[in-house]
Amino acid sequence: MTDENVVYVGNKPPMSYVLAVTTQFNTGTSEVVLKARGKAISRAVDVAEIVRNRFIPEAQVASITTGTEELPRKEGGTTNTSTIEIVLKK
């Protein structure tokens, strides 16, 4: 899989990511991966649910995996952040 199919979910309103995912599916992609970190994780789940319930009913959650990333802190040292990866397939 190439990076083209990845949508990084950040702090924008959920609908901008919903649009990105829907556009990818509508251009013939059969798999889109949502990735998010920290507080954006809830938003990534929202995006997956909105896509499935309102826009692409045939899309299914193929897998969800979570992980931990070490990010450097401004003050030095590192801080741990959770990550999520939601694979949508249709």
Kindly list the residues in this chain that would bind a copy of itself in the complex (CB under 8 A). Answer: 38-42, 45-46, 48-49, 53, 61, 64-68, 80, 82, 84, 86
Q: How far is the CB of 39 from a copy of itself (least distance, A)?
A: 5
Q: Which is nearer to a copy of itself, 31 or 46 (CB)?
A: 46
Q: Which two tokens stand for residue 64?
A: 């969800």
CA distances, 46 to each of 1, 51, 53, 70 (Å): 24, 9, 10, 25
CB of 43 to a copy of itself, least distance (A): 9
